[in-house]
Every structure is written in C-alpha cells, then in structure tokens.
Amino acid sequence: MSTSDKGLQAKFDLLSKSSGGKDGKVSLENIKKWLMQAGVIGKDTGITDSDVDSVFSKSTKDKKEIDFAEFKEFISALAGEKGMNLKDLTEKLGGKKSEEKEEGAGKVPGGCK
C-alpha cells in the first residue's frame, strides 16, 4: 500500500469512527463533506455535488454507506468520469507528507467530531 493509500485509509477510518459509521463504513453525506474540505468539490476541479451523487449511485449500487474498498472504487470512478489523475485525487484526500505538517492536517475529514 502506498503512502497516499495509507493516509487515505487512515482518514477514511477516522471519518467512519467520528461520524458514527457502522462496521467501518461512511455515508455519502460525510464523503461529500470530506471532498469539499479537501478541495475536490468546487470550481477549481469542476466537480459538483451532482457529479458526486451520480458516481456514488453508479459505483455503490444505491447503498447508503460504503466501506474503504468501495470508497476506493468510487474515487477511481469519479477520477475517470471527471478526467482527473487518480493519484492526485488520492493525495488530496489522504494528504501528502508535506501537508501532514501543515496546520489542520490532523483534522477529521468532513469536519465531524
């Protein structure tokens, strides 16, 4: 597992625990908060809430919550549909080593407590 994948899994697990997810799963609502906080949803990327809803629905077969393996499939599908580099997207969500030292790097993704 690469460093960015480890960071991604750590943040996913933290989000799951902090948001009350069951069995290590996270809801679409909390994933969207995380994507917004990481700068994935927004004018700079061209990714909208509707894009996330659409890809989530297609890649999760209408589940309400997903586990980490399903989340990786979801972000791969999102990157593919929006023409983004998957590695760049993973690093944005998981944090690069240089970003880990920045203020706020230890925040819970999605802003949940």
What is the DSSP code string of 66-78? Answer: E-HHHHHHHHHHH
pLDDT at 99: 42
Average pLDDT of 35-47?
93
Query: Which of 7-21, 33-47, 55-69, 97-111 is predicted with the least confidence, judged by mean pLDDT?
Result: 97-111
The token pair at 25 is 């799963």
Question: Distance (Å, rounded) from C-alpha 87 to C-alpha 15?
Answer: 20
pLDDT at 98: 41
Question: Distance (Å, rounded) from C-alpha 97 to C-alpha 25?
Answer: 25
Question: Distance (Å, rounded) from C-alpha 42 to C-alpha 35?
Answer: 9
pLDDT at 96: 66
pLDDT at 100: 42
Mean of all residue pLDDT scores within the chain: 85
pLDDT at 20: 84
Query: Which of 30-39, 60-69, 83-92, 97-106 is predicted with the least confidence, judged by mean pLDDT?
Result: 97-106
CA 2, chain centre distance (Å): 16
Are residues 25 and 42 in contact, defined by beta-carbon separation less than 8 angstroms? no
Average pLDDT of 56-73?
92
